[in-house]
A and B are shown apart, each in its own frame.
Chain A
Amino acid sequence: MSDKTILLKTFFLGFVIALAPLWACWASTPADSSIYDPGNLKPMDTSTSLKVGDIAPGFSLPTISGGSVSLDQFRNTKNVVLSFVPAAWTPVCSQQWPGYNIARDIFEKLDTVVIGISVDNIPTLHAWTQEMGALWFPVASDFWPHGLVAGKYGVLRSDGVSERALFLIDKKGVIRYIDVHDINKMPKLEDLIKALEKLGNN
């Protein structure tokens, strides 16, 4: 092996080893660095015509686990919390479902299932929810026809994302609680749980 080859090989090896810790730095940066911050948004951009006491509009949407989820499948068996979030990879949204994830016992004790809905497509939702850990509830894509279900519930904003909205639907399919929330803020968990507790186990 010539001196030149030794020099080049050593240089290359040094370069690779030198960059290794740098790569490790990127890998160890907190995961929320991947979140896109759109800044402070108009708190609400819609006004739903649905009200407490109305029959919840039916739907069937594809989920990230490969199947589909419909409101009908929980009729007479579970209360349903529909959690519309505006968009994947944005602040607040990226923490709201992980919050519901660790509150699983509370929801289950109240005979309730959560359905997460976003207007993002399945691959995006798949990648995004991977960052959250394993979610126990179905995550549905309302991507195409774009925002159809968000539109039915009156929470599709003019820029194509949904409001941050919660609809609590009882086992008979009746809407019992609506919280179309400031898009920039996290709804308090206890407000939702209190509404659920009011339902009892009817």
Chain B
Amino acid sequence: MMSMRIVSAVSIFLMLTVAGLGLCDTSKQISVNADILADLNFNSPENLADKKYLGLSDGKNFKLPQVKARLLIIQIFSMYCPICQRDAHAVNELHDLIQKVPGLRDEVKMLGVGTGNTPYEVNVFREKFKVAFPLIPDDNFAIQKALSDEIRTPTFVVVKPTAAGKLEIVLTKVGEIKESGEFLKKIMEKLN
């Protein structure tokens, strides 16, 4: 009799714990329209090294499917956003980690889109946090057109450019990445 009660108690314990974990939604999700995102025109980075990194030819504008990468991590940020400022170190660390893994640096690229930011403002962010991957301005909030909800910065969208000039959305994350290693692990799973 006693052992049955203990088994019941342990069952309740486990059920409640699992229920609690189920309620946990640590990252608010956002839905992204891949076709709209693929069709947006962005200003090409002015820096030649940034163009080369993204595999872009000369030209003032580009579309995301033109980026030469198996996966592209898009960081939607704002120079004015204190959370983006706080997360800049982790995002830089993510870029460093990718650069350090042989083979990975050619397959996974990063691009920051400064939503509502002018080129000047994007540059202030780049210089302040010594960002080594390309950052481009999006003064007119163009990227908002592809998102289901109002942009909350930072938001990360990981896409797979396809040969047909389309994008496949593989991962989205609203809020800080905090742990660059953990985030990279999730991205690596999508590579396989």
A127 interface residue (CB < 8 Å to B): no
* CA A29 to CA B178, docked complex, whole Å: 12
Minimum CB distance partner of A102 in chain B: B128
Minimum CB distance partner of B5 in chain A: A3
B20 lies within 8 A of A95 (CB): no
B19 lies within 8 A of A18 (CB): yes
A186 interface residue (CB < 8 Å to B): yes
Per DSSP, are chain A's interface residues mostly helix, strand or loop, or mixed?
Answer: helix
* CA A33 to CA B6, docked complex, whole Å: 42
B12 lies within 8 A of A17 (CB): no
Q: Which residues 48-70 of A sit at the B interface, judged by CB distance below 8 A?
A: none
* CA A177 to CA B90, docked complex, whole Å: 38
- Write the B72-113 contact mask toward A (1 if CB under 8 angstroms, else 0): 000000111111011000000000000000000000000000
* CA A31 to CA B80, docked complex, whole Å: 14
A158 interface residue (CB < 8 Å to B): no
How many A residues touch the partner, as a band? 35 or more
Q: In the complex, which of the residues B20, B120, B124, B152 contacts A22, with contact meaning CB atoms closer than 8 Å?
A: B20
Minimum CB distance partner of A190 in chain B: B120
A73 interface residue (CB < 8 Å to B): no
B8 interface residue (CB < 8 Å to A): yes
Q: Which of A4-12, A80-88, A114-122, A144-152 contacts B (4 or more CB under 8 A)?
A: A4-12
A32 lies within 8 A of B83 (CB): yes
A6 lies within 8 A of B6 (CB): yes
A43 interface residue (CB < 8 Å to B): no
* CA A21 to CA B23, docked complex, whole Å: 8
A15 interface residue (CB < 8 Å to B): yes
Q: Which residues 178-193 of A sit at the B interface, judged by CB distance below 8 A?
A: 186, 188-190, 193
Minimum CB distance partner of A4 in chain B: B5
Q: In the complex, which of the residues B10, B19, B28, B176 contacts A10, with contact meaning CB atoms closer than 8 Å?
A: B10
A98 lies within 8 A of B81 (CB): yes
- 18 interchain pairs (CB within 8 A)? A10-B13, A11-B16, A17-B16, A18-B19, A24-B24, A29-B28, A30-B28, A32-B152, A32-B153, A95-B80, A96-B80, A106-B124, A131-B82, A133-B86, A188-B121, A189-B120, A189-B121, A190-B120
A-to-B contact residues, CB < 8 Å: 3, 6-7, 10-11, 13-15, 17-22, 24-25, 28-33, 94-96, 98-99, 101-103, 105-106, 131-133, 186, 188-190, 193
